[in-house]
Amino acid sequence: MMKNYIKIVILVFMIFLLPVKLIIAKEPVAALDFELQDTDQNIITLSSYKDKQSAVLLFWVTWSPLCQSELRALNSTYARLARDDIEVLSINSGELPDTVNDFIRDYNLAYEVLLDKDASVTGNFQIVGFPTYVLIDKKGDIVFKDNYFPYGEYKDLILKEEQ
Per-residue pLDDT of 15-35, as tens digits, reads 444 444 444 445 778 999 999
CATH superfamily of 2-162: Glutaredoxin (3.40.30.10)
Q: Give pLDDT, residue 25.
A: 44
What would the pLDDT profile of 38-78 be if each residue is shown by its tens digit?
A: 999 999 999 999 999 999 999 999 999 999 999 999 999 99
**Whole-angstrom Cα distance, residue 97 to residue 61?**
12
Q: Give pLDDT, residue 16.
A: 47
Can you give the residue ranges of every domain in the chain? Answer: 2-162
Which amino acid is residue 100, in one-letter code?
A: V
Helix, strand and coil in the chain, % to nearest 5: 40, 25, 35
Cβ(87)–Cβ(112) below 8 Å: yes
